Structure 1
Amino acid sequence: MNRRDHGRSLLQQWDAAKPANFYDDDRYLRAALARRVGAERLARFAPALRQAGADAAGPVSRAAAVLDRPEHLPRIEAWSPLGERTANVLSHPAHHEVGRLVWRSGVLSVLGEPGNVAVHAALTYLFGMNGEVPHLCSIACTAGLVKAIQRAGGDLMRREWLPRLLDPDYDRRWHGAQFVTEVQGGSDVGANACVARPVADRDGVWRLSGEKWFCSNVGADLYAVSARPEGAPDGTAGVALFVVPRRLEDGRPNGVFIRRLKDKLGTRTLPTAEVDFQDALAWPLGRPEDGFKLLMGVIINTSRLAVAIGACAMMRRAWVEAWHYARVREAFGRRLVEFPAVRHQLAEMRALGAAGLASTLFVAALEDRLTLAGVHPEDDPLFRTAVTVNKYVCSVDAGLVVHHAIEILGGNGTIEDFSPLPRFYREVPVQESWEGPHNTLMAQVLRDGLRSKMHDALLAATQDVLLGVPGPAPAPVRDRALGALEDVRGGFAALLRSDAETAGLHVRALVGRMARLNQAALLLDDAARAGATEGLGWLGAAAELVLDRWAATGYEPARDPGYGALIGRVLAG
């Protein structure tokens, strides 16, 4: 065999080595899920998870690549053949083929029963290993709308709309979207100018008029829309939340008109549009005066969790692509995985991906526990803090991990039809901006800290995890983590005593360390509780790497003679 044929055979080996089932291939997902939802609940949903893993690795993966081609992107049909104004979004047939596989998994129908957010998260994660898919946004928005209707919806919503939102049959189901951003402000919801007026002869029905500037999943059946009732006060206190059907019962547009689709950097298979509402019929979600709280506490928090899930999924897929490539690809007479610099990148990728999955399932399971206990999750300081900082740290890490993977694949990593990595690289910064860019999240953590020291809840929960880690083996790492925790706690106390300018400059670094400590603690605990046959011996090393590199202060890998061995342990198993 000549060199050229040998090189191509190695690429064929790489392609053949990739998993046929994302669920079966991910030992840590299965172990972490079992610990957070319980073995009995996991056994109940394992068949659906396994089928989703096979679908995601096979037909969905192939279709995602097809759908991302420029000629297959969604488009708007503004007018019917008879000259009637429409609100149609036209998609490639593969869009619907993927949708049928995604919906049949139960990714949304599981939310009809309380306590299944972690299962929903795991199903979303499996499909999210293909990026936007293009249904990830639809899943997130529909989940948020389901929870909001379960919490505050009227009779019509509960009786007629909720069952269709939960239907696992793609061809019957309805799906949701959320339109908040206006041209004068994105995260500044208090600047909303879209107006709502009650319909005089229809009790409980309103009409909405105005413009929404960034409307993703615009082809949805139901929109959750923020608007200001006439006469309501300025700012967020005057923002109400409404549900707007895209079409009237006779099929005509409900005063909803799509101007154009946005030409986005990434998530291009997801139709994102500018939309005009012209006296659209709308139904309030809860009391108008509670609109902003319901929007942020239920819908936006659901989407923040979804962003983290998607980020973790892309990190996992990037690791899979790069790991199998590095094991077979040769350069200068050696396999890539034998080069220390490549091993270093692979270890970072594996550790950060596992850390993100640990903290994201922690947030999802926390929401389940609170809901089953009759507590609104957004009223819990731990949940409010954790869902915010987790969205930040996971979406930041996804960019680093995907970039590492592209670098390991070299020029091949930049080719659109060679791997999903270029698509992920374009999608990551778009997802980072959803549901509050990082500076907005930092401002929220600061406000919560100044008002009621909410960050203390996450620090206390992390401390509890560390103190509960069983066995003597993790003791040195646990002690370092506890020391770093006290340092972060002191840092927050000093930050909150400082002036606003100083606090704004330094809050991100502290939030990052707080999030890392939580991730390291969860990994350390999972490592200590893993059985010898689970193949998770590397988890403890991953916890140590996350702690030393990104949470502790003063650590310099170059001065640590055991750093190379630590990298080796992260990659073992």
Structure 2
Amino acid sequence: MKLVSQETEAKGKNSYSFDEFLEKRDNLDWYRDEPFLQKAVKKFTGSQHSQVHEKLLSFSPTVSAKWNRLAERIARPEVRPYMLHFDAFNNRIDRIVRPQEVHQLENEIFGEGLFSRNMTPWESFVKRMLIHQLGEAGVTCPLTCTHGLVALLDQFPDEDYPELQDILNHTKEGLNGEFAIGAQFMTEIQGGSDLPANVLEAVPEGKCYRLYGNKFFCSAAHADYSVVTAKISGTDKVSTFIVPSWLPGDKEKEKRNGYEINRIKWKLGTAELPTGEIQYKGARAYPIGPKDKGIAVAVGIVLTLSRLEIGIACAGFMLRASREANLYSDFRSVFGKKVKDYPLAANKLKRIQHAAERTTAGAFKIYNLFLQLDKPLNPGIKSGHPIEVRKKLFNLRELVLLQKICATNEGAEILREAISVFAGNGVMEEFSSLPRIFRDVVVNEQWEGPRNLLLTQIYRDLGRVSDWYSPAEFVASVLEGADSETIKKFTDQLEDLLQRPVLGEVSEASMEAAAEWDLFCDSFFKTYQQIALKEIED
């Protein structure tokens, strides 16, 4: 056999390497190496800044490196969740099988006690913004749902149900070092976001209730406790319940609390998250909040927090997209120049970074308003607060809705543009996290009310409060700090749109008005974000 010479072997060999890029990317610290995020933290944390800053510096290396590696492994298709309905002895167990990495990540993230009384709200907020940069990773939706469950239990303590206090302790402070996971199961096959159409039945049994029927879209199906909406037998009002997945002593036996998981759904994004269809066959449930205001309770508290969190997540997604796109454009050379040195690419990178910083600034400003208000999670618009407080509560309500629809819509656009900076490598799942996060943000756009539903809600809200909060006052209050010309422009547009058939019967006029309403909301909210950005930069 003739030996191949070293010279022949070298021919055709490509020595190109991504090692330089990978080394820089893998050593990024998502807080230390994000100057704008640090500026935002400094502005909003005030006297707490030194303490919060040091804790974030300590926390960030873990999420940036260790947890990021776990998230990448969890995302591989071959380890996605699946159902094991029966054990070897034909017992129905409905075990959701997930990879070991997600259990490790879940235990470490929930073990931070992000909703504990021992952690300040701003520390929790920024830590969650960093965690969201992992993408879903099987943990961020459960984290969000747990926040809503904790807030609901905090809002409505009930001495008649000591079980609820135990559930609160388990999710908020942890028991024996273990933090429980919450979920929210509201959607039914006939209703989607139309909660009044729920038909799941709650049958009284002593102080408790038994649930019968189906929930069709149940994310975090592996959770320990869930917030469930149902109608009490003989009524047409939706009530809210807390349902344990297992009764005491049954989790180890894999004996679920009177329900079955029919299947795990196959989704576009958040694929690491088990989303199931659940059949209730007499599950024990504990009522929470006023029994005739279940929708207001569920939406005003649980869904409001979820929508707020989606805005925080979008800021995290965009910050990561901007950071990694800029890093790659500084590494990659094509046709003799670095990507960043082409005007088209430079303009795109500038637009991505601006959107990321503007979205982050808006998220901080909205959360600051949330913290300033006393009990801002209210079932419905009406309250007994003084008029000026009512107006601020209304601002928060609408800003949360606007942020949810605008940040998710722009988030998908920004992720897509960041992917394009990587060209063909950008769509390679093993090369970058961005394709996975892109799918996650597209799914987030549908969670907790899709765009059209929330645009409708905002329009109705503004009409309902016009007798005590005029469009002009609303615009001037939300856009405080804008110039008078900008405020007048948006006021005139809003007053005009509120007189037009945005929600009328379908016609050329109503479709034109609806399209203008959509554009107005997007432009109005981006102006709010821009004001927030300027406040941080100044």
TM-score, normalised by the number of residues in structure 1: 0.83
Match of 1:476 in 2: none
For residues 152 and 179 of structure 2, what CA distance do their matches in structure 1 show?
A: 18
For residues 143 and 457 of structure 1, what CA distance do their matches in structure 2 show?
A: 32
1:194–1:227 CA contact under 8 A, matched in 2: yes
Give the direction of change, closer, same or farther, for the CA distance of 1:336–1:2 in structure 2 (3 Å limit). Answer: farther
Deviations 1:211-257 (A, max 9, x none): 00110000001010010111222xxxx11100000011230211121
Match of 1:242 in 2: 241
For residues 292 and 122 of structure 1, what CA distance do their matches in structure 2 show?
A: 30
Match of 1:558 in 2: none
Q: Which runs of 5+ in 1 are unaligned?
A: 467-478, 529-573
Query: Deviation at 1:366?
Result: 1.4
For residues 273 and 337 of structure 1, what CA distance do their matches in structure 2 show?
A: 44
For residues 155 and 175 of structure 2, what CA distance do their matches in structure 1 show?
A: 24
Give the direction of change, closer, same or farther, for the CA distance of 1:415–1:375 in structure 2 (3 Å limit). Answer: closer
Give the direction of change, closer, same or farther, for the CA distance of 1:508–1:119 in structure 2 (3 Å limit). Answer: farther
For residues 292 and 255 of structure 1, what CA distance do their matches in structure 2 show?
A: 24
Match of 1:465 in 2: 481
Q: Quick check: which one's helix share is greater?
A: 1
Query: Deviation at 1:51?
Result: 3.3
For residues 129 and 336 of structure 1, what CA distance do their matches in structure 2 show?
A: 24
Q: Is the counterpart of residue 214 in structure 1 residue 222 in structure 2?
A: no
Match of 1:557 in 2: none
What amino acid does structure 1 have at the position aligned with 2:500? S
> After the TM superposition, which residues 137-536 of structure 1 pair with which residues of structure 2 at under 5 Å, given as runs?
137-155=141-159, 156-167=162-173, 172-199=178-205, 202-203=206-207, 205-233=208-236, 238-251=237-250, 252-371=255-374, 374=375, 376=377, 379=381, 380-453=393-466, 459-466=475-482, 479=483, 482-499=484-501, 500-501=503-504, 502=510, 503-528=513-538
Equivalent residues, number? 499
RMSD across aligned positions (CA): 2.1
For residues 171 and 213 of structure 1, what CA distance do their matches in structure 2 show?
A: 33
For residues 448 and 232 of structure 2, what CA distance do their matches in structure 1 show?
A: 23
SS at 1:273 equivalent: strand
SS at 1:277 equivalent: strand
Query: Deviation at 1:376?
Result: 4.3
Structure 2 residue corresponding to 1:102, chosen from 109, 114, 125: 109
Give the direction of change, closer, same or farther, for the CA distance of 1:186–1:4 in structure 2 (3 Å limit). Answer: farther
SS at 1:465 equivalent: coil
What amino acid does structure 1 have at the position aligned with 2:479? Q
For residues 412 and 189 of structure 1, what CA distance do their matches in structure 2 show?
A: 43
2:219–2:275 CA contact under 8 A, matched in 1: yes
Q: Which runs of 5+ in 2 are unaligned?
A: 1-9, 382-392, 505-509
Give the direction of change, closer, same or farther, for the CA distance of 1:171–1:66 in structure 2 (3 Å limit). Answer: farther
SS at 1:228 equivalent: strand
Greater Cα shift, 31-40 or 355-364: 31-40
TM-score, normalised by the number of residues in structure 2: 0.88
For residues 61 and 3 of structure 1, what CA distance do their matches in structure 2 show?
A: 36
For residues 170 and 493 of structure 2, what CA distance do their matches in structure 1 show?
A: 49
SS at 1:302 equivalent: helix
1:182–1:213 CA contact under 8 A, matched in 2: yes
2:247–2:256 CA contact under 8 A, matched in 1: yes
Greater Cα shift, 91-100 or 457-466: 457-466
Q: Is the counterpart of residue 54 in structure 1 residue 61 in structure 2?
A: yes
SS at 1:196 equivalent: strand
Match of 2:140 in 1: 136
Deviations 1:239-292 (A, max 9, x none): 110000001123021112100000001101000000011111000111211211
What amino acid does structure 2 have at the position aligned with 1:504? A
1:105–1:123 CA contact under 8 A, matched in 2: no
What amino acid does structure 1 have at the position aligned with 2:430? D
Deviations 1:303-347 (A, max 9, x none): 001111111111111111110000110011000000011111111
